[in-house]
Amino acid sequence: MQFFSKISPHKYIFAILGLAFALRFVGIWYGLPSLYNSDEPTIVSQALSFGTRKSLEPTFLQYPTLYFYFLFFIYGIYFGIGFVLGIFNSILDFGASFFLDPGGLFLVGRFLSVVLGTFSVWVIFRLGQRFFSKNVALISSLILAVSFIHVSRSHWILVEAGLGLMCAWALYLILKYYEKPTIKANVFAGLVCGLAISTKYNAGFILIPLLLSSIFIYKKNVPKLFKNLCLSVVTLVSGFLLGSPYWIFSFSSFFDSTFKYTFSHVTHGVVGHITDMPFVWPFWELVANDWTLGFLLIAGFVYVLFTKEKKQILLVSFALPTFLYVGSWSSADVHYLIPIFPALVLLAAVFLNDILRSIRNRNLKILFVILL
């Protein structure tokens, strides 16, 4: 008997989504008009610069550009509404607001993060429901909804809220391709994986489950395997370039800037986030920030490390190399783990669901959940 056997998942997911939205929305006005997050003005100024320079060529080359383009689009809508309502008299008036009264611009950007973070919870629910079970869907979406790490990164104008959403969507399409392998499913999965990497580079290991899914499907048919692996790589690169087209036109500048930025993180770290615990700090940060949920995320990851279930292996194949790569850095900040949060919350839900299924007494199940 399942713990949630009498629960309609579509009824309760809206309550979870409401909770997720409320936790992310409350406090988005924090500090305004002063700014206490150094990344916010950098991101906003880059997005606005596309309009002021009348060029989509980025000037901030440490990140790919998909998120900046999307934020620029949102600011275009904000300007249009403000112009109609008489808030802005011209584009120059709109641009001047960044220096004179930036509160509106930053609230719009932060609200975008709230929406993206909340929508991630919905995607996780759909992922769990379709490919695992109703229990896993509800547990994983609830974990993500209340995770301090995810909530806090959805308060600010940061790339991470969009990054987590894109990685969740990519994993959904990868598992969909694995269950029903078609050329169309492979193409869509590859494109969205590329778009995820075009949101931020540390989603790069999403390539592994994408390729591994074809290996699982076509391991006994080498010609089809080779064809689908090539298709995955081509569509992933296409998706990446769709979101960051200036990697084509300014390849050397992007590559040089990205290499130097990553190298400084790996070898020197960032002031305030330097660690002397390589490979350990990611797990420490999960527990230090998310407490019990952090333990669950780690326990779920360890629990399925030796699984033979292919769908769980696909999730682990994204999380494990990310842990190893990011864990080797001298710069320690838990937001580097946001790309694998969709995988981690699903693995935690699988772990917790298996524990609940092993407890036969319903009252003991309820007590166990309360103690958590």
Q: What pLDDT, on a 0 to 100 scale, did the predictor assign at position 6?
A: 57
39-53 and 66-84 helices cross at what angle (nearest 10)? Answer: 70
Residue 142 lies in a domain: yes
Per-residue model confidence as pLDDT tens digits over 278-297: 899 999 999 999 999 999 99
Alpha helices per DSSP H over 180-280 = 183-197, 207-218, 222-243, 246-249, 251-267
Mean pLDDT of the chain: 92
Residue 3 lies in a domain: no
Residue 296 lies in a domain: yes
**Which CA distances in Å does 339 have to 89, 152, 193, 197, 268?**
40, 15, 11, 10, 22
Cα dihedral 176/117/298/63 (nearest 10): 90
Q: Where residue 5 falls among pLDDT bands split at 50, 70, 90?
A: low
Q: What pLDDT, on a 0 to 100 scale, did the predictor assign at position 269?
A: 63
Residue 83 lies in a domain: yes
| Domains of the chain: total | 1
Give me the sign of the Cα torsion angle 356, 358, 363, 367. negative
Residue 66 lies in a domain: yes
Is pLDDT at 264 greater than 90 in this prediction? Answer: no
Q: How far apart are CA 94 and CA 340, in angstroms?
A: 37
Q: Where residue 359 falls among pLDDT bands split at 50, 70, 90?
A: confident
Residue 5 lies in a domain: no
**Which CA distances in Å does 331 have to 17, 131, 287, 338?**
33, 35, 18, 15
At 54, give phi and psi (nearest 5°): 55, 45
Per-residue model confidence as pLDDT tens digits over 170-220: 999 999 999 999 999 999 999 999 999 999 999 999 999 999 999 999 999
Residue 256 lies in a domain: yes
Per-residue model confidence as pLDDT tens digits over 81-115: 999 999 999 998 998 899 888 999 999 999 999 99
Question: Structural domain of residue 291, as residue ranges?
Answer: 10-371
Alpha helices per DSSP H over 244-340 = 246-249, 251-267, 281-303, 310-327
Nearest to 28 by CA among 123, 101, 139, 106: 106
Residue 42 lies in a domain: yes
